[in-house]
Amino acid sequence: LGREIHYFGAIDSTQHKAHELAKGGAPHGTVIIADQQAGGKGRMGRPWHSPAGTGIWMSILLRPELPLYRCPQLTLLAAVAVVQAIRETTGVRAEIKWPNDILVEQKKLCGILTELNAETDQINYLIIGIGMNVNTEDFPSELRDIATSLRIQVGTPVKRIPLIQRILENLEKLYKLYIEYGFSPIKSLWEAHANTIGKRVVLRQLHGSLEGLAIGINEEGTLLVRKDNGEIEKVYSADIENASS
């Protein structure tokens, strides 16, 4: 990964640029990095605050020869690569909130947005967008209570380049493991870093909300939630919160 790296001082979104490059035939492992994004995108159509100089705003193009249903597994794999890189380079023990938010003390440090281009049931390409608050000292008021940065956690500025290198190395290593041995080693690593499993959660989905106990993820990378009537619900996509009771 990262044999082809495109760096931009300012861009609308590294995700858009990655799609453009992918459609133009860019190879597996192409990386797009920007210092600042004017139109950073988050999950569920939300904007992503991406000011200059303070974060890692990066998209990675993957071209796995895999069926579509394996896409969520690759999203979870990316979260493991990032959480390990944070721990290895700064010592900060971040946790993963399903599917792939990275939190410290319940505040968001990093978000991952996976976008897919598929033909019938095969993945054509996948773009993994990673947005990490690294040296942010102060967030806009609407984010202050819910976001954090590595600088806030560590107390001193954190170098971005070694962190980027480590994320890419980990992604490459885990991707090889995944291609060779399948999802099960990745699943164990994900579960070891997750803060969702074993907790009561509220899921907010397009058609309403649901409460239950998060009991694990299955072999496809889907979250399993046991509802109060005992039924197990498979959750493919949702926003989750810890339940208050």
Residue 97 Cβ, how far from ligand BTN at the closest point, in Å?
10
Per the CB < 8 A criterion, the answer to whether 133 and 111 are in contact is no
Residue 92 Cβ, how far from ligand BTN at the closest point, in Å?
18
- Number of other residues whose CB lies within 10 A of the CB of residue 234: 11
What torsion, rounded to 10 degrees, do the Cα atoms 226, 232, 234, 238 define? -30
| CB closer to ligand BTN, 37 vs 135 | 37
Residue 229 Cβ, how far from ligand BTN at the closest point, in Å?
31
Peptide bond into 99 cis (omega under 30): yes
Q: Confirm or deny that 37 is annotated as ligand binding.
A: yes
Chain residues in the site for ligand BTN (CB under 6 A): 13-15, 37, 40-43, 46, 48, 50, 57-59, 101, 111-113, 129-131
Per the CB < 8 A criterion, the answer to whether 22 and 60 are in contact is no
Residue 111 Cβ, how far from ligand BTN at the closest point, in Å?
2
| CB closer to ligand BTN, 49 vs 187 | 49
Determine the residue with CB nearest ligand BTN.
111
| CB closer to ligand BTN, 17 vs 187 | 17
**What are the phi and psi torsion angles at 32 (to 5°)?**
-120, 125
Q: Confirm or deny that 122 is annotated as ligand binding.
A: no
**What distances in angstroms separate CA 51 from CA 12, 39, 113, 115, 132, one per listed residue?**
11, 10, 18, 22, 11
d(CA 26, CA 5): 11
| CB closer to ligand BTN, 104 vs 226 | 104
Binding residues for biotin: 37, 108
Binding residues: 37, 108
